[in-house]
Chains A and B, each alone.
Chain A
Amino acid sequence: MIGLTHYLVISAALFSLGIMGVLTRKNAVNVLMGVELILNSANVNLVAFSRFSAGNLSGQVFAIFIIVIAAAEAAVALAIVLSMYRLVKSVNLDRADTLKG
């Protein structure tokens, strides 16, 4: 029988892998992929709780709002990545040290 815990464990694994990607990757686009994994893990959590407890659909509505925010985040972050590429000719995050004293 597939219960709530199964979904929570998958969500925890996705979340951890997403953090791993954000922490270790040098490429800015790859870091963005990690952020998408984290947002997806939150969505799995919300939908699972929505199905297994409340009896209303608020969790799913919340997940849709998260998808909206993820879309906006991806668009703006890629714009920033592109202008960073134009500025320093690289998307390696350790090259973005213009503000470093």
Chain B
Amino acid sequence: MDTTLVAQIIFYFFALLTVASAAIVVFSRSLIYSAFGLLFALVGVAALYVFLGADFLAATQMVIYVGGILVLLLFGVMLTHKLYDLDLKTETYQFLPALLVVAAVFLTLLGVMLRTTWHSQEQAMSPTTAAIGELFMKDFILPFEIASIFLLIALIGAAMIVRRRAE
């Protein structure tokens, strides 16, 4: 069997998985279903990174998004609901106006993307981890350091916000 055909089938599978899971996140009534939809959407995006030859980024996506942010969101769901309301329903509001606005945005983006003739040439795939590390230590050293300080500030700030005030 032709390898490009197999690659295409796998690509479309993950594209469909990503978009369908994102739709579950947005349209499901249950918070837990939303959280698990987000899990599959993030895994699908990681698979798209693999298709784009971004191996380091795919691993980062799995570790930080799926392992970190998603667990954090699940903690948020669990901590802000009483344990006995198991259904964890969420309501929606202004559904129809939002749908119109979003459809307009999506069709505009789609029109621009499909009409533009992109001068794209596919680069050869190569391992990216060493090159990214070198970029961080040479060209992007200042943003790298700022990001570390930014993370520290966010950590301290988050701890400050949730701390109980001394009465």
Which chain A residue has the least Cβ–Cβ distance from B92?
A24
Residues of A within 8 A of B147 (CB): 65, 68-69
A6-B11, A17-B22 given; A51·B54 CB < 8 A: yes
Question: Which residues on A sit within 8 Å (CB–CB) of B31?
Answer: 27, 29-30
Main secondary structure of the interface of B (DSSP, over half): helix
Give the number of residue pairs across the A-B interface with Cβ within 8 Å. Answer: 221
A2-B7, A74-B69 given; A81·B19 CB < 8 A? no
Quick check: A74 and B123 within 8 Å, CB to CB?
no
| A58-B161 in contact (CB<8A) | no
Say whether A96 faces chain B, with CB atoms less than 8 Å apart: no
- Please measure, in the bound complex, the distance between the C-alpha atom of A73 and the C-alpha atom of B154, giving whole angstroms: 8
Q: How long is the Cα–Cα vector from A31 to B93 in the complex, in angstroms? A: 12
Pairwise interchain contact A25-B92, C-beta atoms closer than 8 A = yes
Determine the residue in chain B with the shortest Cβ distance to A93. Answer: B93
A67 and B64 form a contact (CB under 8 A) = yes
A101 contacts the other chain (Cβ, under 8 Å)?
no
Chain A residues positioned under 8 Å from B87 (CB to CB): none
Contacts of B38 in A (CB 8 A): 33, 36-37
Q: Are B109 and A15 in contact (CB under 8 A)?
A: yes
A57-B131, A71-B64 as given contacts; A30 in contact with B90, CB under 8 Å:
yes
Report which A residues bind B (CB closer than 8 A).
Answer: 1-10, 12-21, 23-30, 32-34, 36-37, 40, 43-44, 47-48, 50-53, 55, 57-58, 60-61, 63-65, 67-76, 78-83, 85, 91-92, 94
Which residues of B come within 8 Å of A, CB atoms?
4, 7-8, 11, 15, 18-19, 22-23, 25-26, 31, 34-35, 38, 41-42, 45, 48-49, 51-54, 56-57, 60-61, 64-65, 68-69, 72-73, 75-77, 79-80, 90-95, 98-99, 101-103, 105-106, 109-110, 113-114, 118-123, 128, 131-132, 135-136, 140, 143, 147, 150-151, 154-155, 157-159, 161-162
